[in-house]
Amino acid sequence: MQKKIRINSNFSLKMSLHGQSSEVLSLAVLNNGLLASGSKDNGCEIMTLNGHSDWVFSLAVLKNGDLASGSADRKIKIWNTNNGSEKMTLNGHLHDVRSLAVLNNGDLAKTFLTSLMILKEK
């Protein structure tokens, strides 16, 4: 027996945002309240953060306020959300980085295919 999923009827549409040049794949709320989006146009939008060479599948806000982006280009990039600069690139991933999450201790979890990996800052 399948369970039916019901959306809470207490929600209504507040606003609709348009203008991304391609399909939006991920969202994250930054510490300053701004909404960041990752998309198929190989970028992240808060300011335009260009640097990935393929779709941006995932975003996660780090404890220090930086933004991590995971992409089909097999890279995780760390961005300074104050000025939009790229702080570092984490290379060497064998597959697309499909999702990112920040754990309570500050470690970064990533998924690809059927695997989950935890990355710890040095």
Query: What one-letter code names the amino acid at 38?
Result: G
Question: pLDDT, tens digit, for every residue of 39-84?
Answer: 766 555 556 677 888 888 888 989 998 989 988 888 889 988 888 8
Contacts 24+ apart (CB under 8 A), 116-119: 119/76, 119/90
Q: Where are the domains of the chain?
A: 24-119
Question: pLDDT, tens digit, for every residue of 89-100?
Answer: 988 877 888 889
CA gap 114, 74 in Å, rounded: 15
**DSSP label at residue 121:** -
pTM for this prediction: 0.74
The CATH fold assigned to 24-119 is Hemopexin (2.110.10)
